Amino acid sequence: MPSSPAEDWNELLKAYLVRVPGLPQDLFKKMRHAKLTFGDRVHCPFLRPFFLSPEDDARVRTVAETIADLGERVAITALDDKHLFAQLHLREEEERLARLPTGYGRVSTASRLDAFLLPESLKFAEYNGESPAGAGYAETLAEIFRELPVMAQFARKYEAHSYPLSAKLLDALMMSYMDWGGSSTKPQIAIVDWEGVPTWSEFEILQERFERMGIPTLVADPRELEFDGKQLVAQDKVIDLVYRRVLINDIVTKPAECAALVNAYAANVVCVSNNFRCKIPHVKAFFAVLTDEQNGALFSHGEREIIKRHIPWTRVVGDVKTAHYGQTVELLAFIRKERENLVLKPSDEYGGSGVTLGWETAEAAWDAAIERALTAQNGVWIVQERIPIRREIFPYVTDVGQVHYRDMLVDFAPYLFRGKVCGFLTRLSATGLANVTSGGGQVPAYRVTPRTSSAH
């Protein structure tokens, strides 16, 4: 039985740790120096990258790019189709922002799909259509791992390809700027989000990389922006292009702090990416739109096949009849009966907030979650079928610096820049929820190809 890249890496690592037990501390020091921290934790307490084959890369690419295109199509169609728009359950102010007449280019310059990649299946849990975090971290992490002595040994047997995310992201932002009508060859970019968010260090990584590629970039809090009716200004510079990382949720709840950004956008004097229409495919109810037979006419036969194979059956929770794979069901009774196979989550939350996994929940707590979903004041909830997840063993550095081998859930999330897969965010967690806030971590992803024996 030939060994896998992961097994080969682990063998090399074990041998290396015997000779150089200080490797984990050295790696952590490099991460801290490179701003790869989330609060005070390093992003990657693991000593192995995630490896995917060229076949996996191609399989993910085809499906993810199709789903991103469907996100664009649903957004544009929904703005003209009241019935479709209603299925997405945007709040009133989100709808107002989405309908501001600055219609240009793609709604999502940068987006990300959360996936579970298995040998025999590929399932997507949700679509983050709104300027997702992590690309700067993922790229930097891949560079740090590439410098490890273990990688040099590994590279004798495998060709390891990493993904140049920041250059691709900058290209996508520049193309959206040109779509919008921008004419400067070196537009002033402002990366905009609240000062003090845990991802601030990533903005600094991207700022440095964008500047190195010749594009002036600053990082600003929305409260620093000033709009005089003609220009958007931050830190005494006229802004041409906003790489918007402040979320629409925050723009809605803090209108005064975000007024300059919204007013400049409404006056169409600045290009904002992602634009405010990205909220339409971003909500989790988007998967309910994709998997509901009533919307079948929006999609070609081939697209419907892709949806059926790769998107979990999803519905907005309500006291309604609906179709479940061709059978009509009373949705609430169905949710109660099928607890073991279902997940409940708010249509519009982050970081795993409010997610209830039926198979880990007792009946009484499940009933309470259904009740919470039905009575929610602030937005709707969705129910989604359970999907197969991927687990792999990873070398993990404990708090006292020992290396243990842990069975981790692998959440594999392709980044899409203007609808093209450009790289991956790979998150590991010990629990059923994969995000850094639930105590997991991030590892770099490499596409690996065995070298032919003559190269040894």
Does residue 425 register a pLDDT over 60? yes
For residues 346 and 317, give the distance between their C-alpha atoms in angstroms, rounded to a whole number: 10
Residues 250, 94: contact at Cβ < 8 Å?
no
Rounded to an integer, the average pLDDT of 347-371 is 88
Q: What percent of the chain has pLDDT over 90?
A: 86
pLDDT of residue 436: 46
47-63 confidence digits (pLDDT tens): 999 999 999 999 999 99
Does residue 45 register a pLDDT over 50? yes
251-293 confidence digits (pLDDT tens): 999 999 999 999 999 999 999 999 999 999 999 999 999 999 9
Rounded to an integer, the average pLDDT of 9-32 is 94
Provide the token pair at 74.
């649903």
Positive or negative, the Cα torsion across 263, 267, 268, 269?
negative
Does residue 450 register a pLDDT over 60? yes
Does residue 437 register a pLDDT over 80? no
- Gyration radius (Cα) of the chain, Å: 23
Does residue 2 register a pLDDT over 80? no
For residues 47 and 49, give the distance between their C-alpha atoms in angstroms, rounded to a whole number: 7
State the DSSP H helix or E strand holding residue 161, giving kind and residue range, or none if neither: strand 158-161
For residues 46 and 410, give the distance between their C-alpha atoms in angstroms, rounded to a whole number: 12
303-356 confidence digits (pLDDT tens): 999 999 999 999 999 999 999 999 999 999 999 999 999 999 999 876 667 899
Does residue 455 register a pLDDT over 50? no
pLDDT of residue 433: 55
177-205 confidence digits (pLDDT tens): 999 999 999 999 999 999 999 889 999 99
| Fold match, 26-282+390-455 / 313-385 | no
Does residue 456 register a pLDDT over 50? no
State the DSSP H helix or E strand holding residue 382, giving kind and residue range, or none if neither: strand 381-385
Does residue 439 register a pLDDT over 70? no
pLDDT of residue 440: 74
Provide the token pair at 257.
């702090």
Provide the token pair at 407.
């069975």
Rounded to an integer, the average pLDDT of 13-29 is 93
144-183 confidence digits (pLDDT tens): 999 999 999 999 999 999 999 999 999 999 999 999 999 9
Tell me which fold the domain 26-282+390-455 belongs to.
Answer: Rossmann fold (3.40.50)
| 313-385 under CATH 3.30.1490, yes or no | yes
Three-state DSSP class for residue 265:
helix
Cα-to-chain-centroid distance, residue 180: 24
Mean pLDDT, the chain, integer: 93
Does residue 438 register a pLDDT over 60? no
Could you state, in order of their start, the residue ranges of all structural domains in the chain? 26-282+390-455, 313-385
